[in-house]
């Protein structure tokens, strides 16, 4: 049922804010009707990196900004730290 302890934790969005961000981005992608490939072309971020992020991986702030701009989003908080 659950993939990890974090999934079971009701505070998981506070522990893992990237999960909430990726869910928001996934929703905006669906609303836009864009494919990951189209988003990649529009944002300049590789389709593989987008897929990894949407699957729960991390992403640096530059790539997140590019994706947000391509989707006309403004992400004001919970920006990830560059690794």
pLDDT tens by residue, the chain, 83 residues: 444 444 555 555 556 778 888 998 999 898 888 899 999 999 999 999 999 999 989 999 999 999 998 888 654 434 555 54
Torsion over CA: 51, 55, 61, 67 (sign) = positive
Residues 6+ apart with CB under 8 A from 12: 6, 19
Torsion over CA: 32, 38, 41, 43 (sign) = positive
Query: Does pTM top 0.85 for this prediction?
Result: no
Query: Do the beta carbons of residue 23 and residue 17 sit within 8 Å?
Result: no
């Amino acid at each position: 049922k659950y993939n990890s302890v974090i999934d079971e934790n009701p505070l998981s969005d506070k522990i893992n804010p990237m999960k909430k961000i990726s869910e928001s981005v996934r929703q905006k992608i669906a609303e836009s009707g864009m494919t990951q490939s189209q988003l990649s072309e529009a944002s300049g971020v590789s389709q593989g990196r987008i897929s990894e992020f949407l699957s729960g991986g991390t992403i640096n702030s530059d790539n997140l900004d590019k994706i947000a701009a391509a989707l006309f989003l403004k992400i004001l908080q919970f920006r990830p730290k560059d690794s």
